[in-house]
Amino acid sequence: MNKGKCICGKVSYEVTEKVEKLYQCHCTMCQQQTGSSSQTGFFVGTESFKWISGEFSITNFCKESGYSYSFCSKCGSTVPNMFRSGNKFWVPAGALVNLKNAKVEDHIFVADKADWDDIGGEGVQHEGFYPVFADPLDLHI
């Protein structure tokens, strides 16, 4: 069981399945959205995800292209984002309290990475999109 929350604590949730695989996206939109090198997270089906608090304090942003993310309306922290397919969430790894034994297995959009982004670890590096998104509705951009 992994619990996650935003900085102000208003939005909290739990993931009831074991989290092992993480995906790290280095695309330019993830750089802009995070103000950092990338965004790291994982997918979880709705059956293994539960909001504890603050579900209605979330703002969703969606570009016309379909790129979307969600954040706490009070503190701006990135929070889980429901994909358009409606059957799973993208959960930001850094928001989970006490996440252990999970690894970044795939880096995506490595071709777009910032010049100063020095990718390490054993994760496989993909130039662009990688079909971790089994559902065609889950287009990242």
The answer to whether residue 139 forms part of the interface with Zn ion (CB under 5 A) is no
DSSP, res 48? G
Which residues are paired to 13 by β-bridges? 4, 51
34-93 residues near Zn ion, rule: CB under 5 A: 72, 74-75
CA dihedral 115, 121, 122, 123 (to 10 degrees): -50
Largest CA distance in the chain: 39
With contacts defined by CB under 5 A, name the span among 5-13, 14-22, 93-101, 119-127 that binds Zn ion: 5-13
90-129 residues near Zn ion, rule: CB under 5 A: none
- Residue that the structure tokens 């006490």 belong to: 98
Nearer to Zn ion (CB atom), residue 18 or residue 84? 84
Q: Give min distance, CB of 128 to Zn ion, in A.
A: 10
With contacts defined by CB under 5 A, name the span among 22-30, 89-97, 99-107, 127-135 that binds Zn ion: 22-30
The answer to whether residue 10 forms part of the interface with Zn ion (CB under 5 A) is yes
Q: Give min distance, CB of 57 to Zn ion, in A.
A: 7
> Order of strands across the sheet with 81-82?
81-82, 88-92, 39-45, 21-25, 103-108, 124-125
Kindly list the residues in this chain that would bind Zn ion in the complex (CB under 5 A): 6, 8, 10, 25, 27, 30, 72, 74-75
